[in-house]
Amino acid sequence: MKRLAFVLALVGMCPAPAPAATDDALWLARMCVGESGWGRLDVCAAEVGVIRRRALLHGTRLATMARAYSAALRRPRRPWVPRLLPTGPAPRGWPAANWPRRRARFGVVLEHVEGVLAGDVADPCEEAAPLHFGGPAHVDDDLPDGWEVVDCVPGSRQRFWRRAPRGGAS
């Protein structure tokens, strides 16, 4: 009995291992890098919000919706994007020698996504509740009837849009 108490006391003194990133967070972080790059974490939070709303509407997991929705994951121009990991060697197809610095940056993006999912980081578009995002070419000339652009991330190249409220655009 004393031995068991001693072992339990030792185990209690050991730090718990850091939790592994969830599959959802990992795919969402990959999507953010592929869709809006390494730097705009506010845009990333808004993109995660869109995927979260779409997944809820369609009754699917976040990772599944991210892979289905994001062209950067479905048809990547940069084939390393769907292979990004926060640890280990550069993903196959990585174009440059600066992987250690980018791996650290990917860890920052992943941590940010985890914060959004946990509710610790706000979605800047939550109030506007857009259901789509894309570059200017997706919306500037041919926005479908009944949809409107919402400017919830000022200065972003990414556009967000939602169904227009009944009675016209707001």
Q: How do the pLDDT tens digits run along the chain, 170 residues long?
A: 545 343 334 334 433 334 456 899 999 999 999 999 998 999 999 999 999 999 999 999 999 999 999 999 998 889 999 999 999 899 988 887 789 999 999 999 999 999 999 999 999 999 999 999 988 766 656 777 888 999 999 999 899 999 988 765 44
In a domain, 150, yes or no: no
In a domain, 155, yes or no: no
End-to-end CA distance of the chain: 70
Domain that residue 52 falls in:
23-125
In a domain, 163, yes or no: no
Distance from chain centroid for Cα 116: 9
In a domain, 96, yes or no: yes
Give how many domains the chain has, as a whole number.
1
Which segments of 2-157 does DSSP mark as H helices, in order? 2-13, 23-36, 41-58, 62-69, 71-74, 99-118, 136-139
pTM assigned to the model: 0.83
In a domain, 28, yes or no: yes
